[in-house]
Structure 1
Amino acid sequence: MVLKPDVITLGAPEVHAARRFYATALSATIADDGDSVNLDMHGTGQLELSTTERLAADAGTRPATSGFRGYMLTYTVNQPTEVKTLMDAAVHSGAEVLKPAKKALFGSFSGVFRAPDGAIWKLAAATNKDTGPAAETPLPTETTVILGVSAPKASKAFYEALGMTVDRDYGNKYIDFHPANTAARLCLMERGVLARDAGTTKDGDGFQSMVFTHTAESREEVDALLTAAAAAGGRITVTAAETTGGGYSGHFTDPDGFQWKVTH
């Protein structure tokens, strides 16, 4: 039993407008099944787009949201010119720049934008100097999602109780977990610190317009993860039950209110 973010679903006011944005700005590979839009981040994570109302209803909460949503997605590429290329494409497609692309801490290079759907993205390279020709279509080496939490060490304990293994642990500054194959990496930072890194304030409440999905191997694993989440300090928001089409799923939130769907 190891919890993992197999899919990250983002809520959007206009799904097909968000589809166009991500296809253009991040060159995401698109699969549209009519009800939702799947975004393959080139093997570094699986995203999905859904209407905010539908996503909230499925998670057993209300769709209202305001201010900082408490998370930031990071799209890591090889070198600075690729960060600039992606930032220009995002802005051209309607993104709002929160931090211009420039040299950052520890020899890195990054910029931050807010997508038209409201999600905040950081574009980053580990070096601030190009080491060779830049890719015409930059592809990610890793996709991460950073959660702004009240107490990173407590959140670490919660996710460890659900089977995740810590990779890097810098106490209350930054903690992340080993990613599963083809899944995004999950990271933790204190909410105020993350908001400053994103170029915004920490104020905000309501639905985060994001839900993680873990695909379980059995119905028993669905039940076990929900039980473990509740015991570790999470909250069951939708009790596990049969779904349309013969599936089985339930929802929980972590101690900071981030939504998870566990399904088989």
Structure 2
Amino acid sequence: MTSIECVTLEVTDPAAAKDFYSTAFGLADQVRLRHSDTPTSGFRGFTMSLVVSQPSTANSLVNSALDAGASSLKPAAKSMWGYGGAVQAPDGTIWTIASSAKKDTGPPTRQIDEIVLLLGVDDVKATKRYYVEQGLVVGRSFGSKYVEFKGSSNTIQLALYGRRALAKHAGVAADGSGSHRLAIGTDAASFTDPDGFAWETLTMGGDECAPSDGSAR
């Protein structure tokens, strides 16, 4: 089954971004960094989501991200689906931190239960079909609105939203152009999806989630 082993965020200053992600979220192997000056503007068409067990843990991660230099997009608050907020990292990546629980069951921790990559796509049904053809397995699907794919517990989970719905969820305008500034690392063959998101076959090791040919995109 095709899966996401890691994602590589393309940033202008990898050293600064590494410090941010270590301080804000304690992320290491599953989120990698590499340098890129490829032009990009506005919404990049994706968000990263950290799923946690309770509101106090969400608050802890949101606050540490803001203290490390992130900008607030949506203050953490209760909603119909649970509790969470959204921030934008200094490199421009949008992160949501969310819990399905609305009440705490214990003291806050730094435990991240899941990392989810949410892609904002033009046609959810068509992109779903495309990914099934690439070997991904659907976990949950809600027509033309939202799709989740199955993944093992130690990999990054993948979900699809409509682009405008995802931007609204993140608290930003949907307009954007240029590079996604994202490479999706997989143990399967490389491909590029209908919305321009690149999947790269990995050679794991070192400080970079690198394509099998060792090149940078």
TM-score of the superposed pair, with normalisation by structure 2 = 0.90
Could you say which residue in structure 2 is the equivalent of 1:5?
Answer: 4
SS at match of 1:192: helix
RMSD of aligned alpha carbons: 1.2
Q: Which residue of the other structure, out of 119, 134, 147, is the alignment partner of 2:108?
A: 134
Higher mean alpha-carbon deviation, 108-117 vs 174-183, is at: 174-183
Could you say which residue in structure 1 is the equivalent of 2:60?
Answer: 85
Written as runs of structure 1 = structure 2, the 5 A alignment for 1:203-214 is 203-214=175-186
Q: How many residues align?
A: 203
Q: Which residue of the other structure, out of 28, 31, 37, is the alignment partner of 1:47?
A: 31
Unpaired runs of 5+ residues, structure 2, are: 203-211, 213-217
Q: Which has the larger radius of gyration?
A: 1
Q: Percent identity?
A: 37
1: CA distance, partners of 2:170 / 2:36: 22
SS at match of 2:154: coil
State the 4+ residue runs in structure 1 displaced beyond 3 angstroms.
Answer: none
1:146-183 C-alpha deviation (Å, 9 max, x unpaired): 00001111110000001111001011221010013411
1:9-37 C-alpha deviation (Å, 9 max, x unpaired): 00111101001101110012xxxxxxxxx
Could you say which residue in structure 2 is the equivalent of 1:178?
Answer: 150
1:187-231 C-alpha deviation (Å, 9 max, x unpaired): 000000000000001100111000012124xxxxx3xxxxxxxxx
Paired AA for residue 252 in structure 1: F
Q: Which residue of the other structure, out of 182, 186, 193, is the alignment partner of 1:254?
A: 193
TM-score of the superposed pair, with normalisation by structure 1 = 0.74
Contact 2:54/2:99, CA 8 A, preserved across alignment:
yes
1:120 aligns with 2:94: yes
Q: Greater share of helix residues, 1 or 2? A: 1
Written as runs of structure 1 = structure 2, the 5 A alignment for 1:23-172 is 23-28=22-27, 39-40=28-29, 46-53=30-37, 63-106=38-81, 108-135=82-109, 138-172=110-144
2: CA distance, partners of 1:168 / 1:4: 16
Unpaired runs of 5+ residues, structure 1, are: 29-38, 41-45, 54-62, 217-221, 223-250
Q: Which residue of the other structure, out of 139, 155, 159, is the alignment partner of 1:187?
A: 159
Q: 1:262 Cα deviation (Å)?
A: 2.3
1: CA distance, partners of 2:87 / 2:2: 29
Higher mean alpha-carbon deviation, 3-12 vs 155-164, is at: 3-12
2: CA distance, partners of 1:71 / 1:191: 8
1: CA distance, partners of 2:125 / 2:187: 26
Contact 2:141/2:148, CA 8 A, preserved across alignment:
yes
1:66-87 C-alpha deviation (Å, 9 max, x unpaired): 1000001100111101111111
Could you say which residue in structure 1 is the equivalent of 2:170?
Answer: 198
